[in-house]
Structure formats: C-alpha cells, structure tokens
Chains A and B, each alone.
Chain A
Amino acid sequence: MSEYLLILVSTILVNNFVLVQFLGLCPFMGVSNKLETAMGMSLATTFVLTLSSVCSYLAFEYLLQPLGLEYLQTITFILVIAVVVQFTEMVVRKTSPMLYRVLGIFLPLITTNCAVLGVALLNIKKQNGFVESILYGFGAAIGFSLVLVLFSAMRERIAFSDVPKAFQGSAIGMITAGLMSLAFMGFTGLVNI
C-alpha cells in the first residue's frame, strides 16, 4: 500500500512532469491565462492520462511483448492515445453534454500533449505493473493539474500588477514558470523511487 502512495507523491511533487521533467509544457504555457480554462484542461488531462496509461500498458503487455515488437512502442502508443481520446470524446458528447461543454475543446488538444506519450513510455521503461501504471498516470495528471492551476492563478494576479514593459506578457510567464520549477526542486530527495 505504501509503495502506491510513494508512486503518487513521487509523480505529483518530486518528479512533477511539468516542472521537473519538462513534459507537457505547451498546454502549461498555452491555457494558463485563465483559471477557468486551466481547470477544464486539468480535468480533461487527468481523464485522458489515466485512461491512456492503462490502454498503452495493455497494448504493450498483450500485443507488443508477445510478438517481440518492443521497438514499435512509440508509434503504437501514439495510435492508442489518439483512438482513446477520440473515442472518449464521442462517448462524452453523447452521454453527457454538460461534461462535453466543459472538456470538449480540450480533449482533442490533449492527443498531442507530450506528457501523455511520456507517461506511457516511462511506464514501460520503469516496468510498472497494471496498478502501478494506473497510479503513475493518475499521479502525473494530478501533478500536471496542480501546477497548471497554481500557475494560472499566479498569471491572473500578474495580469493586474505593474510589470516592467520588457517583461510583459509571455516573458513574465516564462520567468514565473522557472521560479516555480526552482521551488519544486525543493522536493528532490523527499521520495526516492
């Protein structure tokens, strides 16, 4: 049980995908202007990351490994992720129009989020089992959501503050992200996994 908890703490804080491993930076900079869109993106990413880490694990375990085709993992995972996202979008659109309104525009965007592919590949590299894969994906998504929401809240405040002209806009965003990354370095050594 404690090792599952360690996986979560490790992926959320210590090896945070955005601020420590620098994966999924485009949505991190792109949709963090508003807290509301950041939350929508976080929800959608949590959903997709968890689901796709399971699916890619299954595809690797039951298709690629028995056939000895481990070297095809990248292209297979891209295929799996794209299909899972597309299928999810269709189902959500049919079954829950309200949820679709919140997540709808973000779902296709996540297909190309490198954190999603990164989680799938790292799961294989770390030889995680089924449950570990789910937790690893879920933890990565929670970590992503955490920093995305924190970062967008900060950017909303920065938007109203008196920023020097040379630093306005994306520049101050980059600097803030860098400082956040430094802050997250403080978690290094908290868990060793």
Chain B
Amino acid sequence: MSVIVTAILALLGLATIFGALLGFAAIRFRVEGNPIVDEIDSLLPQTQCGQCGHPGCRPYAESIAAGGDINKCPPGGEATIQALAELLDVEATPLDSEHGEEIPTQVAVIREDECIGCTKCIQACPIDAILGSAKHMHTVIASECTGCDLCVEPCPVDCIDMVPVDQGLSGWHWHAPKDQNIIATDKLGLVAGMVVEEGNLS
C-alpha cells in the first residue's frame, strides 16, 4: 500500500514542481508585442496606400503610438480620426489636407478589353489584389482591393477606374426616392395622370 502512495506522491510532486516552473516561465518570459500598436492598427483601414507618408498602416500605427499625429489617414477619414481620438484620449483634429481628401471607399476595376498585360499595376499593388501575367489580361480581386488607387498612376493605357462601393451594413441606406413619386396622399387624385405620364417617361 505504502509503495503505491509513494509512487503517487512522487509523481504528483514532480508534476506540481514542473507545473509551477511552467507557470513561472509563462509570466517571466511572456512575449510582449506592443498591444497599443495592435489596437491602433486594427482601427486603421488597412489600405496600405502610403498617403500618410508611412510605408503602410502598421508603420503609421507605430508612429501614432510614439506620439505622432492622428489626422494623416484620408481613406479612414473622420470616422478613423474619431475612433483614434477616443482610443488615445486626445483631441480629434480635422483631416490634414496635405495627405489627401476623404473620399468614399472605392475599388479599382480594370477595363479588361483595353488591358495590354504590362503587369505595371501588379507591381504597384501593395496587397497583391491584381491577378494576371505578362501579355495576358489583368483583373482586380474586388474583395481584396482596398481602393488605395496606387495602380491607377502606373497604367500606361489608363484602363483602371476607381469605382465607389457599398459600405456594407454600417453605411447602407435606403435609396432616395425619385422626386416625382413623393406626393401627399390627399393630392393623389389630382396629379395621378401626371405621375403615370412621368412614370412612362422615366
């Protein structure tokens, strides 16, 4: 009986010591990234467009964490500045126009029949969202494109358009009704003929 107890106690003791050692190591040797940089980076739009003067969103996040300005990101616009100001508890400042104007989210679209397959836009794309090879038609993977418009400039035949996209649930809104359909119901009879007529026209 005592042999079994000794065995169990020995293993238990060994396991406890090792567990304590690992627990200590987990605290003592914890790898600390800079959590604030991660948080700032998650607020940025990840276009990697470089309009802020930094080579991507993460370097910009690092510069903000080091105390830099928060108003250098045109793709993020006012919403990003507000979020950053809230996170860092600083004053929200208007977008610095030196770095560009705020525009709605866009994606690049290649007019494919005009593309000559020069691969210049592929080299310009910071996130590899353009597909194609030399002397073959290129196309943009719309779900990957961040709308940084870095590919527009290098295109020798100007066949890349920037097209605004829907914003998803948060930016979605009802389509504005056409003017002629806004009619007070009590006047419906009076203008019914006109509505039908204009309806036909449109």
Interface string of A80-123 (1 = CB under 8 A from B): 10010011001101110000000000000000000000000000
Report yes or no: A90 in contact with B7, Cβ–Cβ below 8 A: no
Contact B6 A67 (CB under 8 A): yes
B22 CB to closest chain A CB (Å) equals 6
What 1/0 mask marks residues of chain B from 75 to 115 whose CB sits below 8 Å from any chain A CB?
00000000000000000000000000000000000000000
Q: Is B26 close to A, CB under 8 A?
A: yes
Q: Which residues of A sit under 8 angstroms from B191, Cβ to Cβ?
A: none
Contact with A along B19-32 (1 / 0, CB 8 A): 00110011001110
| Partner of B29 from A69, A80, A91 at Cβ < 8 Å | A91
B8 to nearest A CB, angstroms? 10
- Please state if B14 and A76 are interface contacts (CB–CB under 8 Å): yes
Q: Which of A69, A80, A86, A91 touches B10 (beta carbons < 8 Å)?
A: A69
CB-CB < 8 A to A94: which residues of B? 29-31
The interface bits of chain A over 126-146 (1 if a CB of B lies within 8 angstroms of the residue's CB, else 0) are 000000000000000000000
Give A68 to B7 CA distance when docked, in angstroms. Answer: 9
Chain A interface size band reads 10 to 19
Central interface residue in B3, B10, B26, B31, by most chain A CB within 10 Å? B10
In the assembled complex, A75 has its CB within 8 A of some CB on chain B: yes
Residues of B in contact (CB 8 Å), total 15
On whether the beta carbons of A93 and B29 are closer than 8 Å, the reply is yes
Contact B14–A90 (Cβ < 8 Å): no
A79 CB-CB contact with B under 8 Å: yes
Report B-chain residues with C-beta under 8 Å of the C-beta of A90. 22, 25-26, 29
In the complex, A59 has a CB within 8 A of chain B:
yes
> What distance in Å separates the Cβ of B67 from its nearest Cβ neighbour in chain A?
26
Of listed A59, A67, A90, A95, residue having the most chain B CB within 10 A: A90
From A67, A68, A79, give the contact of B18 (CB < 8 A): A79
Asked whether B11 is an interface residue with its Cβ less than 8 Å from the other chain, the reply is yes
Q: List 7 A-B contacts (CB under 8 A).
A: A68-B3, A76-B14, A83-B18, A83-B22, A86-B22, A87-B22, A90-B25
Other CB < 8 Å A-B pairs besides A72-B7, A83-B18, 19 of them?
A63-B10, A64-B10, A67-B10, A68-B6, A76-B11, A76-B14, A79-B15, A80-B14, A83-B21, A83-B22, A86-B22, A87-B21, A87-B22, A90-B22, A90-B25, A91-B29, A93-B29, A94-B31, A95-B29
